[in-house]
Structure 1
């Protein structure tokens, strides 16, 4: 027997008694995929806390306003996490008035009870490695200096609030960032924007518009760029995503550059932006945006440019252009818009 034959014989299982029958005992591939998707949705500390809160609530349900008290994150962030659990079927939702209420799907109640009452205690008691912290811990000194600089510009805001917004901004961007080289500068821009929104004078004569889509990588960026292009400083414009992407879609960047926007980056939806807005325009992000009194809401059914061809992106831009023009005509009747 040659060496190659000997090697092959080591992996050539021909004995019926030794043939592994894994397929008959293992979970089916399709089932495993479904279960893994659900477990992935559950594998987030805040979502598990929300699930525990809902499971133990006297009425067996909770709304975003209830769950926001669990942590310092904004209500839109809470809504995003709830949407993830709803999308995999663990939660159901029902809108009542201005809020959406969430309950555990009946078919999952037993599984959730097992997770919280049996699996969670076992995981806590079993020996395990402590997670290695990085990211924000490594940037503490830089973030503290950034908070001090911003506090000087926003003297009316308590330093603790400034510091919290700086750290929240950094952390939220770090979750999706592909490259960390410019993360601090992006966090500074995002935190400054949030502080500006937090301190906005409600009597400000300059209208403020917020565009919200899912990834803040296409539609909402284009709409915001069109408003800046036509209205300049006569309107304050923001854009955000319920689940922000790591970067603006490649095909959209050229369209943004044509409108004079070259530094766009995806940002998460925050309460600051919603509360500061006079008009909130949503595009395909469902109920993740809280409905607050005194704010005008619109929902635009606009195509998603994520996978669109250049011609498709051009068509989406044209659709947004028509809608933005109509909005500007309403907000600024005296604004002269160029003819198309």
Structure 2
């Protein structure tokens, strides 16, 4: 209960420390974070978590660094002792995999927390607040314009989609000055997905990762390029980042050219995008996609180019290109 004195004088501090993490839980989490507080360990954990085989040999992990084999084994043992990894000896070598009960936590670390630390929020809270005050009228005007243009669609539906699109994007938007054009593009995409006729349209693929700032963007760009219009590719994120990672944008430029690459932006995953797809490809976030009858699902174990070196990001792009080629063959034949 809040003390009477606090009610009379709001400047008096009214702590709510009982909401804090418990000491036992904090100790357990701190132990795990301490085990990961070393760059090489994070790199090895990433390599293991994204290996298509679901595990990695210590001989493969040694290629990440020029330190001695005992040092590599020491780092792996630290993560194993922390309950993150399990191991199995097969002949000469030891193989490591992420413990099943920790997979979701490792995915959250590598796909959400880690990329977020690499991006800068360059709009101050004050500027953002001022900009958002005028945004509602602009969104209303955009909805009216689209409803007038798309007169064959229900006006209330168009308005709802525009407002939902804006709400989904503004949560993670880095710069509010781009919100209206991004909302328009996202709303148009969603309306097209809602009205898609499966019987007459070309196959559609939805690529989904956590941040929609790396893998899914690259995969969609590759599919659109390689298919030459015979397949439509979309991308989305279960927890979109504020922007496409700079290293990924440079790869997109190589694929799409300067004009198209600059228009890429992280988008939230929506049910209508899944329903419109013939195939949904997940990369580290398969459990968040709604299961829609008639939609084919695949999960690809692919590293995050936003966290990789330049050479590593190019290797991930090439891996995605190979996978996209194989998928494209199944869709066009």
Give the TM-score, by structure 1 length.
Answer: 0.59
In the other structure, the counterpart of 1:299 is 299
Unmatched 5+ residue regions in structure 1? Answer: 1-24, 38-85, 88-132, 334-340
Superposed CA RMSD in Å reads: 2.9
Q: CA deviation at 1:242?
A: 0.3
Q: CA deviation at 1:34?
A: 4.2
5 Å-filtered alignment, 1:134-283, equals: 138-260=134-256, 261-262=260-261, 263-283=263-283
In the other structure, the counterpart of 2:311 is 311
SS at structure 2 position matched to 1:210: strand
Taking the aligned partners of 1:28 and 1:168, their CA distance within structure 2 comes to 33
Q: CA deviation at 1:32?
A: 9.9
Taking the aligned partners of 1:287 and 1:216, their CA distance within structure 2 comes to 16
Taking a change above 3 Å as real, the CA distance of residues 232 and 31 of structure 1, as seen in their structure-2 partners, is: farther
Taking the aligned partners of 1:293 and 1:134, their CA distance within structure 2 comes to 44
Taking the aligned partners of 1:207 and 1:193, their CA distance within structure 2 comes to 15
Contact map agreement 1:136 1:170 (CA 8 A) in 2? no
Contact map agreement 2:194 2:276 (CA 8 A) in 1? yes
Write out per-residue CA displacement over residues 273-330 of structure 1, whole angstroms, 9 at most, x where no aligned residue: 0010011111101310011101111111111112110011011001100000001111
Write out per-residue CA displacement over residues 10-41 of structure 1, whole angstroms, 9 at most, x where no aligned residue: xxxxxxxxxxxxxxx99999949949x9xxxx
Taking the aligned partners of 1:267 and 1:190, their CA distance within structure 2 comes to 8
Write out per-residue CA displacement over residues 45-76 of structure 1, whole angstroms, 9 at most, x where no aligned residue: xxxxxxxxxxxxxxxxxxxxxxxxxxxxxxxx
Taking a change above 3 Å as real, the CA distance of residues 155 and 320 of structure 1, as seen in their structure-2 partners, is: same
Taking the aligned partners of 1:27 and 1:210, their CA distance within structure 2 comes to 39
Taking the aligned partners of 1:324 and 1:27, their CA distance within structure 2 comes to 47
Give the TM-score, by structure 2 length.
Answer: 0.60
Contact map agreement 2:286 2:299 (CA 8 A) in 1? no
For the pair 1:322 / 2:318, whether they are aligned, the reply is no
In the other structure, the counterpart of 1:94 is none
Unmatched 5+ residue regions in structure 2? Answer: 1-16, 30-103, 106-128
Q: Across the two proteins, how many residue pairs are aligned to each other?
A: 216
